[in-house]
Every structure is written in C-alpha cells, then in structure tokens.
Structure 1
C-alpha cells in the first residue's frame, strides 16, 4: 500500500481543522485558561508539595490550644504560624498570606475559624482544621466519660494522654499518605486537562468525519485509485495526530508556564500515547455514528466532560466519594489520572503504571476495532 494517499488525506484533514477558528480556540487557549484558574483555586502549586499556611492565636498554657496545635503541627500539609494578635491573623487571611486562621480563646472550647472561602487552599485548610479539632473534641469527651464512670482526674488524664499519643501516631501516618497520594494546584490540573481536552477536542473534530461523508469526499476517494484501508488509515491517523498535538501542547506549555513536573518521560509517553489512542477510537466512532456534522459537537464534548468528571479531571477523586470513584474506573480518564499522578511521585516510572497502560490500550483496541467496523459500513452506504 502506497503511503501517499494516506499522507494526502491526513494533510487535507489537518488543513481543514487549521481553518476552524473556534476549534483552535478550544485547543490552544481554553486548556491553559482552565489550568490557570482551576489550578489557582486548588492552591496554585506547581509541584503540589507546598504547605498550606495557617495563622493561630493561642496560649501555650491552655490545654485545648495545646492539643489542637499538636494535631495541626503533626500534619505535613500545614505550615502553622503562631501569632500574637487576632488582627494579624485577619490581616494575613485578607491579603492571602494565610489560607486560614484559627483563634483559640483561653479556657474556652469555642474556637473561631477565619477564612475568606475564595480558594481551594482555604477550603483544604478548613477541612484539616475540622479534623484536628474533631479529634481533640473526641478526647475531651473521653475525659468526661471516664470521670463520669468514676475515674479520678489523674486516671482520666492518664487515659487521655495515652489516647492522644496513639491517635497522633495514626494522624501522622494518615496525613503523610494523603500528602503523597494527590498533588494540588497546577500539579493536579495540568494532567487532568491533558486528558480532558485531548478527549473533548478529539470528539469535537469528529464532526469533520461526518462532513466528509456528507460532501461525498470519501466516496469520491474510493472511486479513484485509493484502497479502502488507505482511507481508513488516513482518517484514523488524522484524529490521532490532533490528539497527540493537543496533549503535547498542554504538556509543553504547562511545563514552561506553570513549572509542572510530569515525572518519568517514558512512563508519561506511554500513558498519554495510550490515552490518545482511546480518544482517537472514540472520535472515529462518534464521527461514524452521527448523521450530520452538527450532531458530533452536540454529543461528543458533553460526553467527554461527563467522563472527565467521573474520572477525576474536574476535581480530586477523593472528593467525589467511594461510589463515584468506583464508577470512574469504568472510563479511561480514571485510569489515566491514576497513572499520571503516580508518575509525579519520586522513584515512579513506567513499571509503576503498567496496569493502567494495559487497561488504556485494551480500551483503545476495543474502541478502534468497533469504530473501524462501523466506519467501513458507513463508507459503503449512503449517509
């Protein structure tokens, strides 16, 4: 089979897409607008390892304050700044120097949280403070219960001290695991948008396949000295080139603009390449099934966004809950996100994501197989 007809078909499709100004906007501009604003909302960290600053006003002699501070300082995601006055905390929160503030009046269990609730760091800080305060409250309740059961204050204090030590060890272990599992800021939104926009824009350009059928371009190609498999290969490669170009553009610009670290190049190439094949198969399938060019953008991108939601491309998957997380593994985005996040961890490479790559390749093979069968049937019939 001569490669010339394939090259000509790929070049013709790429020229057509390059003249679509709306499509170019969503491929070239929209991904980075999304990365910027969502990344800032989630903390604005390029590495995902920055600690969240929290200002605290408390007395060292106060037992409640001491217990809460011990919990907060044990969390490696937080940077606790001790301050002398409420106004320092409020000013730091207003200016953005602090993600949140905590005011602990002496001798009181009524704590005041200071935050603006305008960004993801503030919400993350609130969640961690709530956890720490909740654990301290549980210990205080245990003290009251022990004294109510007849224990002396000294015995109750000994039991509580033991409970505090054991729970602090658990808290440190749990916090460390949370820190290493999910990055924040640009470190999360950049990989998420690689998958989201590669899939969504691949689905959007599926309209060109329906347009080619509508105009009779494919039938005219087959009427000439062009084999059917050349047309099939040309259309598939056209979508694959667009998917790869979209993914590479987001990765390169995210690295240069937001200092995103992707991890092992070989592992990233395997994951992104596999996902591009999945996107290509989905694009060809949608382009083969729809009857008019207007149907593809009406069906494909919304479907891609829904799949991105399920796969954790719009928010961290742990926020969605266990049920949605399990559903997320039914779509390629969930496997792709797990793989890309794993590769950002130190010492992780291709060997750490072989399962995810295998699943993505299996999904790609299934989609490409079905799409080529459907596309071949549509080529031999009318629109």
Structure 2
C-alpha cells in the first residue's frame, strides 16, 4: 500500500506540473493541430480534399482529316474523363473562349487549332493546342494542362506509329498506302487518348494504397496520423525522463533521504517512484490517443492492437527514462540529456515520419531509425495507421516490451545501488 500511496502522491504532483502539461499534452496536439487547421478548410468530411469544379471552355477549330477528328477526341476527353472535376463546354471560336476567361466565366480556355488532325496524320505536320488561363489560378489550370498533355502525347504517338508502319512496309517492299496510314493514326489516337488496352480494360487505374484502413482515410487523415504518432512518441520519452528526474530532485532537496528514514523499505519507496512514472505515461498516451481521435478523426486501428502498442510505448519510455536518469550525477546534467540525447534520438526515431512518402517500409532511411527505441515505436504506430494486422505489428511491439524491460531492470538496479 505504501508503494501505491507514494505513486499516487507523485502522480498528483506531476499532473500540476507545467512541464508535463505543455510538453506532454499541449505540444503534441498543437503540432498536429497546425496541420489540421492549415488544411482543414480544404478537407471534406471523409478526410479527403474537396476541389471546386473547374469551368473549362473549348474552342474546337479543327477539321477532320482522313477520317480522324483529333479535335473531337480532345474535346471529348475534356468533357467526359473527369465530369466531377472538369465542367467543359464548347464555344464557337477562340475569341469567345478567351473572353469567357477574361470575364471569369471560365478558369481555362482550350483552343484546338484548325489543322490538328492533319498534323497528326501528315509526317511533317505541326500544330499547337493553346491553353488560355486565369493568371490568378494554378491548381485547376494545371489539372487541365496535364489532361491535354496526355491526349497530345497520344497524338504524337500516333504520328510515330504511322512512321514506323510506313518504314516496316517499305522494308518489306510493300506499297505505302496513305489511307492505311491514316487508319493507323486514327485507331492509335482513339486507343491511346481513351486510355484503354486491347481487352477494354483501363491502362491507368486509380486505387487506394495497399493496406489502407478504409475509404474514409484520406490524405489529410494520413498526414495527421503520421505527425501525431511521431509527436506522441517524441514527447512521451521526454515525459518519462522528466518524471524519473523527480527522484534526483527529491534527493537534492532532501525529501527523499528523509523518506528513507521512515519504516517504509527503500525498495518500496523506489517502486512507488517508478510506478508513478509508468502511470503518468499511461495517462499521457491514453489522452493523446483519445483526444486526437476525437478532434482530428484519426483512426488508430484495431483497439486490441492499439492497446498493446500503447502499453509497449509506455513500458519502453518508462524504462528508458529511468535508465537515462540513473546515469545522471545530478540535475545539472538534465539540460544536456534533454537538449542533446533525447532530442537527437527522438529526431532519429522520427525519420520514418519524414520519409513516409518513400515507397517500401524497408527503405534505408526508415530502417536507420530502428537503432533507437523511438524508431521502433514510430514504426509500430505507422503500421497500425496503415491497417496492418497482428502479424506485422507484433515485431515492433515485442521489441518495445523487451527493450523496456531491459531498460527498467538496468535503471532500477542502478538506483538501488545509488541509494543503498
């Protein structure tokens, strides 16, 4: 009972500590909040990004050549490929298209030149599609330009296809039929611009990344989850060291030696100090997980696995805090420990957050972070955020539990010898 009483007394004192409230709770949430409020106005209810429809006007001045209507192909792609994003309408001429943009009735005007089809078929033909845009906009016009470029590249491929066909026919001594070449250009352009393979399936399909948790987890939720996980791990280790430092503080203030004069055994007193650190970090991790899930709508994963990962984080941070504090001669070394050792190790462990966009969990930068316990903690939370199962999560969880136990034993032994 004495051990629990000591732990609860220290816990109440730590809950009123400005250091814990600021570094343990406010800063991790505030960092994620910066990203949330910076991009929250752009996000939809499902965590994705809402883009307003892009009004586009198309002036098709092209004339069909040899059965190929390249202008109609390009206009059709603009009208049909992204109906929820691009709202394309046709106008009679280039002047009307530019006027619509100048009057801000459209964001982009696509002006298809008169000789586009002829340029696709004729070996030396040239034509340029003009894109006239509102100079104050960038994202919408960029999307339209990318779509136009895709179709124009298909037309360029059609020209190459006709040249290759003509060269092969000539190499075999066959007559080069102009109508056949026009048919090649027409079929290739329609095929490539439509983005379909020979069997009718899409050449390009947009899918969610493998292992994503659900359709509601959009880019904003993924970013916030990564940042929140990194900040939580970073500051939990700080809190563990700061809580363990209270042992040195009480020793220097004389309260701990006086406590040792009481009938309570010294191991029970130290156990109470250790238990208070464990309970403090448990409360910290629980609050951060619950509050971030409620405010930022972060899906941390399966509750059982989240609980196991949280336990592993608390144990490894508690053990590491006790060990690193036991190595300090006095509190004057705390600045070096906090400003140097913990900061460097924390940033190294967060490499996985900084390189979250790098494909593959085993990329060299992410693997380098595993030389510190913070790296294993971050790796575990990243796996949970991607919907990983117990088979994948068990490795970082086991590493944290084992490392935490080793750190705790070493730290406890050093404190026992120190106050023997």
User: Residues 76-115 of structure 1 correspond to what in structure 2 (within 5 A)?
Assistant: 79-82=84-87, 85-86=100-101, 87-88=104-105, 104-107=110-113, 108-109=128-129, 111=131
Partner SS, residue 334 of structure 2 = coil
What's the CA shift for 1:155?
1.2
Question: Take 2:343 and 2:49, find their aligned partners in 1: how far apart are those partners?
Answer: 34
Cα distance per residue 1:84-103 (max 9 Å; x no partner): 6542565xxxxxxxxxxx65
Aligned with residue 289 of structure 1, among 310, 314, 327: 327
Count how many residue pairs are aligned between Structure 1 and Structure 2.
Answer: 348
Matched, 1:156 2:185: yes
Question: Take 1:49 and 1:323, find their aligned partners in 2: how far apart are those partners?
Answer: 30
Question: Take 1:329 and 1:130, find their aligned partners in 2: how far apart are those partners?
Answer: 43
Question: Take 2:211 and 2:4, find their aligned partners in 1: how far apart are those partners?
Answer: 47
What's the CA shift for 1:242?
2.5
Matched, 1:142 2:174: no
After superposition, the Cα gap between the structure-2 partners of 1:200 and 1:27, relative to the gap in structure 1 and judged at 3 Å, is closer
Partner SS, residue 219 of structure 2 = coil
Contact 2:233 2:378 in 1 (8 A): no
Matched, 1:270 2:269: no
What's the CA shift for 1:83?
5.4
In the other structure, the counterpart of 1:169 is 202
In the other structure, the counterpart of 1:98 is none
Question: Take 1:137 and 1:379, find their aligned partners in 2: how far apart are those partners?
Answer: 76
After superposition, the Cα gap between the structure-2 partners of 1:213 and 1:180, relative to the gap in structure 1 and judged at 3 Å, is closer
After superposition, the Cα gap between the structure-2 partners of 1:219 and 1:309, relative to the gap in structure 1 and judged at 3 Å, is same
Question: Take 2:415 and 2:143, find their aligned partners in 1: how far apart are those partners?
Answer: 56
What's the CA shift for 1:224?
5.0
In the other structure, the counterpart of 1:353 is 390
Cα distance per residue 1:267-288 (max 9 Å; x no partner): 3223333333333333333333
Question: Take 2:147 and 2:269, find their aligned partners in 1: how far apart are those partners?
Answer: 62
What's the CA shift for 1:175?
3.2
Larger radius of gyration: 2
The RMSD of aligned alpha carbons is 4.2
Deviates more, 1:197-206 or 1:217-226: 217-226
Contact 2:240 2:320 in 1 (8 A): no
In the other structure, the counterpart of 2:92 is none
Cα distance per residue 1:17-62 (max 9 Å; x no partner): 2332243123333333322221244554564345544525153855
Unaligned runs of 5+ in 1: 74-78, 91-101
In the other structure, the counterpart of 1:370 is 407
Question: Take 1:341 and 1:378, find their aligned partners in 2: how far apart are those partners?
Answer: 37
Partner SS, residue 197 of structure 2 = helix
After superposition, the Cα gap between the structure-2 partners of 1:318 and 1:373, relative to the gap in structure 1 and judged at 3 Å, is same
Matched, 1:203 2:238: yes
In the other structure, the counterpart of 2:380 is 336
Unaligned runs of 5+ in 2: 61-70, 90-99, 114-127, 167-180
Question: Take 1:29 and 1:353, find their aligned partners in 2: how far apart are those partners?
Answer: 31
After superposition, the Cα gap between the structure-2 partners of 1:161 and 1:196, relative to the gap in structure 1 and judged at 3 Å, is same
User: Residues 217-228 of structure 1 correspond to what in structure 2 (within 5 A)?
Assistant: 225-227=263-265
